[in-house]
Amino acid sequence: MPTLVADIVTTKEELEAWKKERAEKRQKGGQPVQPPHLDPKKSPRGGWQDDVNLLVEFLLGLKNLMRYLIEHRVPENPSKLFKSCFSDVEDNINAAISDLYTINGENHAAYVDLQVRELTKKPLKLKIRECFRRITSSPVPAVLERFDSILGSIFPVLATLEPVKEFKEALESRIKHDGDKGIISLNIFGNEQLWNKAEAED
């Protein structure tokens, strides 16, 4: 008979028990289904439900951002390996969203830990607002940096996000320090660069 995990957390052990229980129940694949009590049209404004929904939106936004960068900013050959790994990243994000959807009140183990990490209420709204500001006014590396800050706080609570964070850092490094697909595709100097042709003639 499996041990049931209490919804009210009083110890770190209870949070670890919740994580273990979720890991045992979690299955890869499929999209997480939002429970009725988290429907923004039905849930009270300003409650813990808003915090869960904001974090879900953050994770969905991160997934869309990484997909876009892989498809449009990473050069064709390097992008192949990123694309082949991305399905696992999506599965991990979906698993984290599924875990968020198990939160059912302010005393839930995961919610309390999110609160300790200032990922609820006004601190969370501030972080998400600044993330949105970067998206609308900053270059890509600055946007990724802001996402990384929030991700760094959340993955100790939602363990499936640790490999997501590592993947995002690899993608961020590629974007910052290597060729840009859009620029390379312009073929600004043509295929027959004079300096290469001169070297061949020497």
Domain chopping of the chain, boundaries: 12-186
The CA distance from 77 to 15, in Å, is 42
Q: What is the pLDDT of residue 118?
A: 95
User: What is the reported pLDDT for 32?
Assistant: 85
- Position 37 scores a pLDDT of 83
* pTM reported for the whole predicted model: 0.81
C-alpha to C-alpha distance for 202 and 198, rounded to whole angstroms: 7
Q: What is the per-residue pLDDT for 7?
A: 44
From first to last of the 202 residues of the chain, give the pLDDT tens digit.
343 444 444 567 877 787 777 766 765 556 788 888 888 777 677 789 999 999 999 999 999 999 999 999 999 899 999 999 999 999 999 999 999 999 999 999 999 999 999 999 999 999 999 999 999 999 998 999 999 889 999 999 998 999 999 999 999 999 998 888 888 888 777 766 666 665 556 5
Q: What is the pLDDT of residue 60?
A: 96
Rounded CA-CA distance 64/68 in Å is: 6
DSSP H stretches of helix in the chain: 12-25, 48-72, 76-100, 109-116, 121-137, 140-154, 162-177, 181-184, 194-201
Cβ atoms 97, 59 nearer than 8 A: yes
Do residues 69 and 180 lie in contact, with contact meaning Cβ atoms separated by under 8 Å? no
